[in-house]
C-alpha cells in the first residue's frame, strides 16, 4: 500500500509519529465535539473519494474521525491535515458550558493532549498530520510544502473577518473539481453567512450548495 502523505509529512516535520507518546488521560478516548450533520460530508466524500483532506477547526477530532472513517472506505491512503491552535475561540470563553470544556490549566486551554489520545485510541496516527498553529500560519506553511487537497473542511473561527480569511486562504489549495465545506452556515452564526456571501459574490469559479447547516463550494 502507498504510504499516506500524512505519514511522510509527519516524518519530515516531526521526525516520526507525533502520536507515539504514552496515553495521558483516562478514558483514552473522549467523544466530544460539534460534528453536526456528518451525512453532508459523507455524501461529498463518497463522490470525491479524497486522498487529501484539510480540516481547519479540529477540537478533539470528532469531525476528523467521521471524515477519515468514511474516506478510508474508498482510499486506504487517505490523509487529513488537522489545523487548530487547540486554544479554542472567543465564543468558548463567553459560553459557561463551553468554557469548562477548555479545561483551563494555569490560565491556558489544555485540549491538544486529549486530541492526541483520541488519535492514538483510533489508531489513525499515520493518516493525520497535526498542525498546532493558526489557520493563517498553517496556510503559509502548506503553501511552502506545495500541498493540494481534494476536500477542505472549515470549522475554525466563526466571525466574518476570520471566516472570510479562511475561505480565501484555503481556496487556492483546491484543484478544479475539489470541494470546500464550511460549518455553521446558519442564522446563529451571522459572521459565517456574511463571509460566505461576500466570497461567492461575482465569482464564476464555484458552484454553491446550501446543505443543512453547511455551505458547500465546488471549484469549477
Ligand X SMILES: C[S@@+](CC[C@H](N)C(=O)[O-])C[C@H]1O[C@@H](n2cnc3c(N)ncnc32)[C@H](O)[C@@H]1O
Provide the binding-site residues for ligand X, judged by CB under 6 A. 33-35, 57-59, 62-63, 83-89, 134-135, 155-157, 162
Q: Closest distance between ligand X and the C-beta of residue 206, in Å?
A: 22
Instruction: Cell numbers for 178, please give them.
Output: 475539489
Q: Rounded to 5 degrees, what are φ and ψ at 81? A: -95, 120
| CB-closest chain residue to ligand X | 33
Min CB(1)–ligand X separation in Å: 28
Q: Which is nearer to ligand X, 33 or 130 (CB)?
A: 33
Q: Which is nearer to ligand X, 14 or 93 (CB)?
A: 93
Q: Which helix (H) or strand (E) holds 206?
A: strand 206-211
Residue closer to ligand X, measured from CB, 88 or 178: 88
d(CA 94, CA 122): 31
Scanning 96-202, the segments in alpha helix (DSSP H) are: 96-101, 112-122, 135-144, 160-170, 190-200
Chain length of the chain: 220
C-alpha radius of gyration, the chain, whole number: 17
C-beta closer to ligand X: residue 65 or 218: 65
User: What's the min distance (Å) between Cβ of 54 and ligand X?
Assistant: 12
Beta bridge mates, 167 = none
SS3 category, 127:
helix
CB of 60 to ligand X, least distance (A): 6
User: Which is closer to ligand X, CB of 34 or CB of 93?
Assistant: 34
Amino acid at each position: 500500500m502507498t504510504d499516506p502523505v500524512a505519514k511522510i509529512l509527519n516524518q519530515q516535520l516531526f521526525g516520526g509519529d507525533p502520536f507515539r507518546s504514552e496515553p495521558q488521560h483516562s478514558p483514552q478516548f473522549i467523544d466530544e465535539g460539534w460534528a453536526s450533520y456528518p451525512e453532508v460530508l459523507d455524501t461529498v466524500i463518497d463522490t470525491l473519494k479524497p486522498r487529501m483532506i484539510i480540516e481547519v477547526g479540529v477540537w478533539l477530532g470528532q469531525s476528523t474521525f467521521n471524515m477519515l472513517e468514511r474516506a478510508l472506505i474508498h482510499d486506504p491512503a487517505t490523509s487529513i491535515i488537522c489545523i487548530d491552535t487547540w486554544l479554542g475561540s472567543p465564543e468558548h470563553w463567553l459560553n459557561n458550558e463551553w468554557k469548562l470544556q477548555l479545561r483551563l490549566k494555569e490560565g491556558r486551554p489544555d485540549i491538544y493532549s486529549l486530541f492526541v489520545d483520541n488519535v492514538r485510541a483510533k489508531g489513525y496516527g499515520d493518516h493525520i498530520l497535526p498542525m498546532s498553529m493558526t489557520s493563517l500560519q498553517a496556510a503559509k506553511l502548506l503553501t511552502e510544502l506545495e500541498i493540494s487537497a481534494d476536500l477542505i473542511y472549515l470549522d475554525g473561527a466563526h466571525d466574518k473577518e476570520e471566516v472570510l480569511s479562511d475561505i480565501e486562504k484555503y481556496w487556492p489549495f483546491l484543484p478544479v473539481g475539489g470541494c470546500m465545506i464550511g460549518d455553521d452556515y446558519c442564522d446563529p452564526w451571522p459572521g459565517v453567512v456574511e463571509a460566505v456571501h461576500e466570497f461567492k459574490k461575482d465569482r464564476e469559479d464555484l458552484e454553491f450548495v446550501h446543505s443543512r447547516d453547511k455551505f458547500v463550494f465546488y471549484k469549477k
